[in-house]
Chains A and B, each alone.
Chain A
């Protein structure tokens, strides 16, 4: 799976980091950083949770 983000929409809520800290982190510019652009399948549930919990729909998962 591939993580695609729209940084213009990021408002720094960090819910993604909470759901999948292996994949997402909010940096000092208050924007999300993708730590793994192609996370392993084992992280799918967490990544999908992160996408759902983002208040501003930043994250898309492309299979």
Chain B
């Protein structure tokens, strides 16, 4: 994780660009010649975090591979909103796989490139959390254990948004979805279910695993670039807020992502060969309420009567992340 140490006190290096910074040190997104791999005219909702995360990641990968890139894409929002036949928003070679076999399709492309003697052409597989953590999980695990030369990027918006916000194995506890309604004694999704795919990927001891977030562009780009320095199976899990499914204002997409990180809800880290090599620290630690309150999927935690028990459980999970990954300097809360 390379974050430039040059500090400009006006804006630090938190902004996308900086006119005072040498162009070679600016982000890919600040560049007027960025590829816009996912182009305008796509049909994602207003303020879509996934559209943003996908452009960030693929544009960075294009730079890292000198534009020698092919992507396979699982069914899901990203595929549906970008390619209604015969239009496409993709400005890269792109193939739609089935919902569950993207990792396998990408593996095949990588094998084909090897056979054709084109090692410079790199392969990305991408999908949402449904296609990754649920439906495509078998193929994904196979790709990992064979160490196929593919970078798999999961855009995690924590439910099946494309089909109408159904729960996935990435949906957090207490979140309301169409299949986990906010009714009953413990409304929303149950606690203690689901899976943490970045940790599962790490357990495969593949060369590179990282998590990233749309509010930290520099970090995200650095991780994609780093991933492209490896051969073999790599995995990046990008946290992408969904205004539609989460019920937050469309202008708040990046703010919500930032709050997920600052509360400890979503740990941002990188691991190489199964070991954590870097974490993105929390700048100002915030209570989880700050993250939960702007989202309608958690509205039942605050009204008609507050549910301090559920909030405390979410806080405990965030605190555990902070301890586990050392997200706060000094290690204490």
- Whether both chains belong to one complex is answered with no
Question: What is A's interface to B at a CB cutoff of 8 Å?
Answer: none
Q: Which residues of B contact A (CB under 8 A)?
A: none
